[in-house]
Structure 1
Amino acid sequence: MYVLYITHPQVRIDPNVPVPEWGLSDIGAERARRAFSQPWARDLRRIVSSTETKAIETAQYLARASGLDAETVEDMHENDRSATGFLPPDLFEKAADWFFAHPHASYKGWETAADAQARIVKSVETILAAHDPSQPIAFIGHGAVGTLLKSHLSHDVIRRSTDQSPGGGNLFRFDLADRKVTCDWTPIENWQG
């Protein structure tokens, strides 16, 4: 059986709101509605989400389409960037480049890429260990930790070139039995199952 890792689509950026509390923008919400109206959404048997607002909102769209309830797991959050707070997009992109290029060092107090990778891998593996292997499952989360998870599954080094395309709202698929990535980052509305 297969596992999907789905990233939230575009968010409403507000420098006055903590990043974990940002919700989906109108574009992000529309992308989620359109993507999850595809038949594959009804094939899922479990949805597990990060506790960040944008991930929960994405999971709720998928839950409505699939007829399931979404679970939340605290340790699936995005890499902890609270030490710097909000960064304007140009500075954020430079910081993200540094984060991936120096996986064992902290960018101005951020969680390191290596630590974030260990956390997301442990969280996903813990859930999968108790999951019925005959049932498809979707994880709803974030781009950076999703990339770190995919790097781990692919036995690849941590690097930004394996990141999803800008804007979020992408997914990759891996097999539950052997953890092999069988579909690379794909925009959610383009995936056919």
Structure 2
Amino acid sequence: MMHVVRYLTHPQVNIDPSIPVPRWGLSEVGRARTEAVTATGLFSGTAQVISSGEQKAIETAEIIAAKLGIDVEVREAMHENDRSATGFLVPDEFEEVANQFFGQPQVSVRGWERAVDAQVRVVGEVEHVLARDTPGDVLFVGHGGVGTLLYCHYAGLAIDRVHDQLAGGGCFFAFTSQERRVLHGWRRLEEL
């Protein structure tokens, strides 16, 4: 039986340069967007909610899982690409380095995890979960960078930022659990 696998990126966060990025939480806007989608029934067939270990992803996953009456499974290795070498970067500088990250996937840009390595890591985590062949749809909650790498993998596309989610996060794509066939590209939570 075919099940739907969705990968959802956390929506807007509280940006605080004094706190390590993995510990940032959802902003009021991000929380409201997540709570609003739980009323749509989009995730009603979901039997598993799997989250990155980063705070913003966990908060997103917990809101959805609570509505479904299921637990969140946290998988630490689903984290965003490791950018600890630079820490917080101001938006313009971040965008420049992110462009290099996607544009040179075989290179560690300014000490960041290489895109090819991040892709292998996140695909491995998803495949580990899917190998359990648990009945029902699966929702993975994570991040834009590794989510784009995951999308490129399942869509059979070269790593390229042109395939990145829409600005603001809170986007998802879907694929089938059996054939790993992409059903649709990135959509905003509001585009149900």
TM-score (norm 2): 0.97
Q: In the alignment, which residue of structure 2 is the partner of 1:107?
A: 109
Q: In the alignment, which residue of structure 1 is the partner of 2:10?
A: 8
- Is the aligned partner of 1:43 residue 2:49? no
Distance 1:33 1:189 in 2: 11
Alignment of 1:47-66 (within 5 A): 47-66=49-68
Give per-residue Cα distances to partners, 1:166-189, cap 9 Å, x unaligned. 110000000011101101100112
Alignment of 1:1-193 (within 5 A): 1-132=3-134, 134-191=135-192
One-letter identity of the residue aligned with 1:163:
D
TM-score (norm 1): 0.96
Distance 2:146 2:45 in 1: 25
Aligned length: 190
One-letter identity of the residue aligned with 2:68:
S
Distance 2:99 2:120 in 1: 19
Quote the offset at 1:65 in angstroms. 1.5
Distance 1:10 1:131 in 2: 32
Distance 1:122 1:44 in 2: 21
One-letter identity of the residue aligned with 1:158:
I
The answer (yes or no) to whether the contact 1:42–1:67 under 8 Å persists in 2 is no
- SS at the partner of 2:33? helix
Distance 2:6 2:50 in 1: 10
Runs ≥4 residues deviating over 2 A: none
Consecutive unaligned residues in structure 1, runs of 5 or more: none
The answer (yes or no) to whether the contact 1:35–1:190 under 8 Å persists in 2 is no
One-letter identity of the residue aligned with 2:151:
K
Taking every aligned residue pair, what percent have the same amino acid on both sides? 47
Let me know the Cα RMSD of the aligned residues. Answer: 0.8
Quote the offset at 1:64 in angstroms. 1.5
Give per-residue Cα distances to partners, 1:101-149, cap 9 Å, x unaligned. 00000111000000000000011001110132x3101000000101000
